[in-house]
Amino acid sequence: MRTSMFRLIRNGSASRSRDIGRGYSSGAVPERKVAVLGAAGGIGQPLALLMKLNPLVSRLALYDIAGTPGVAADVSHINTRSEVAGYMGEEQLGQALEGSDVVIIPAGVPRKPGMTRDDLFNINAGIVKSLCTAIAKYCPHALVNMISNPVNSTVPIAAEVFKKAGTYDEKKLFGVTTLDVVRAKTFYAGKAKVPVGEVNVPVVGGHAGITILPLFSQATPKANLPDEDINALTKRTQDGGTEVVEAKAGKGSATLSMAYAGALFADACLKGLNGVPDVVECSFVQSNITELPFFASKVKLGKNGVEEVLGLGSLSDFEKRGLENLLPKLKASIEKGIKFANQI
Ligand SMILES: NC(=O)C1=CN([C@@H]2O[C@H](COP(=O)(O)OP(=O)(O)OC[C@H]3O[C@@H](n4cnc5c(N)ncnc54)[C@H](O)[C@@H]3O)[C@@H](O)[C@H]2O)C=CC1
Ligand SMILES: O=C([O-])CC(=O)C(=O)O
């Protein structure tokens, strides 16, 4: 059991107490260490900034193979709660991970125009495998937020690495699909002309092309959009990543919106760990709501990570067809990850 769970901080000033204490009955917030692996990258840097702004974080460890001293020095000057430390190179990875409650992984190469997420497999699979081997050794109880693509394969890789190390806990491994939800909400609000801050849209399946299945039939506020709008919104959500890759024209993929989405998801994990009730986010997790071993759906987060994998709810005929079509593709990506992790 981690001692950090029991070392509570009490807040000095009234305004600080209001900020940190939001959603906490006692006004006392546990200490939490968050590690970001790949912290000097396009996602890692703004994500480090956003995690530094999160009052639920007491220690922030920024790890990368290069560039972390500068990022850590920069972020550490911000006058918020967490203490920041930078770690660079494999020999410092253990220190970065030790005592972590949440590990966020945006390490790995991004797409260029013309590539699919699966084209990143050959490089990113090895990176994820080695980082997860270290997680199993240094912080086996941490919640792992996997951002590195292809998520449909990197999450199964992580699971296999943890199984081999004897540390796998299916409640603690998450593929971050929050950006799909963020996009679906934005695009829906635009089309339905409803306030974006009020919109909710579950996105299920996986995180690549047609495996991304937004459930606009369940979107709120309700808007009764015509089928052609739903088709267009679905396609735009599925191709959201490619839209950014093309606009960046060779300079990478989504970083700022991804950092926002990653920070939202990590915040939800921290709230769950801290016992805040009714924290629900979509995530790609071990699941039995379809025949596949991993699937993204709404997940209730609690003190041990996944508290409950929620069902799909009722689907429109269009969504039912989307689900049928995505299953074989997602299955192949999951199997590819499992096979890779089990190669000697
Ligand atoms: N899940 C999602 O929704 C999204 C996932 N992504 C994925 O996130 C990943 C990162 O994207 P960017 O930050 O744009 O790439 P980037 O190239 O800007 O940054 C990646 C960072 O990872 C670091 N890195 C490489 N090997 C490492 C290792 N062994 N240990 C620690 N750090 C290592 C690099 O030094 C670099 O700083 C990509 O795989 C991308 O496809 C991107 C957007 C959305
Ligand atoms: O499209 C990419 O390569 C990055 C990503 O996962 C996204 O933006 O959803």
Q: Please, is 343 exposed, middle or buried when counting C-beta atoms within 10 Å of its C-beta (0-12, 13-18, 19+)?
A: exposed
Same-fold call for 4-175 versus 178-341: no
**Of 122, 129, 121, 126, which Cα lies nearest the Cα of 149?**
121
Does the CB atom of residue 66 touch ligand 1 within 6 A? yes
C-alpha–C-alpha distance, residues 309 and 323, integer Å: 17
**Annotated binding residue at 51?**
no
C-alpha–C-alpha distance, residues 79 and 73, integer Å: 13
193-202 LR contacts (CB < 8 Å, sep 24+): 193/223, 194/221, 194/223, 202/282, 202/297, 202/298, 202/313
Does the CB atom of residue 118 touch ligand 1 within 6 A? no
- DSSP letter at 196 equals G
**Of 151, 155, 79, 82, which Cα lies nearest the Cα of 116?**
151
Give me the pLDDT at residue 9, please: 33
Q: Tell me the per-residue pLDDT of 166-185, one tens digit each, with 9 for 90 and over.
A: 999 999 999 999 999 999 99
CATH number, domain 178-341: 3.90.110.10
What is the CATH superfamily name and number for domain 4-175?
A: NAD(P)-binding Rossmann-like Domain (3.40.50.720)
Q: Tell me the per-residue pLDDT of 67-112, one tens digit each, with 9 for 90 and over.
A: 999 999 999 999 999 999 999 999 999 999 999 999 999 999 999 9
Average pLDDT, the chain: 93
pLDDT at position 39 over 90: yes
pLDDT at position 16 over 70: no
Mean pLDDT over 217-245 rounds to 98
Contact 258, 277 (CB under 8 A): no
115-119 LR contacts (CB < 8 Å, sep 24+): 115/245, 116/208, 116/209, 117/149, 117/150, 117/151, 117/152, 117/207, 117/208, 117/209, 117/241, 118/150, 118/153, 118/208, 118/333, 118/336
Report, as residue numbers or ranges, the catalytic residues.
207
- Ligand 2 atom closest to residue 208's alpha carbon, by position in its atom list: 6
Domain ranges of the chain: 4-175, 178-341
- Ligand 2 atom closest to residue 179's alpha carbon, by position in its atom list: 9
pLDDT at position 280 over 70: yes
Give me the pLDDT at residue 344, please: 61
Residues 6+ apart with CB under 8 A from 177: 151, 203, 206, 207, 212, 282, 283, 284, 296
Predicted-assembly ipTM surpassing the 0.95 threshold: yes
Does the CB atom of residue 179 touch ligand 2 within 6 A? yes
What's this model's pTM, rounded to 2 decimal places?
0.94
Does the CB atom of residue 42 touch ligand 1 within 6 A? yes
Provide the percentage of residues in the chain whose pLDDT is more than 90.
92
Give me the pLDDT at residue 27, please: 59
Residues 6+ apart with CB under 8 A from 163: none
Give me the pLDDT at residue 197, please: 98
Phi, psi (degrees; rounded to nearest 5) at 340? -60, -45
Q: Give residue 17's pLDDT band: very low, low, confident or very high (50, 70, 90).
A: very low
Q: Tell me the per-residue pLDDT of 40-60, one tens digit each, with 9 for 90 and over.
A: 999 999 999 999 999 999 999
Q: Tell me the per-residue pLDDT of 281-295, one tens digit each, with 9 for 90 and over.
A: 999 999 999 999 999
**Annotated binding residue at 70?**
no
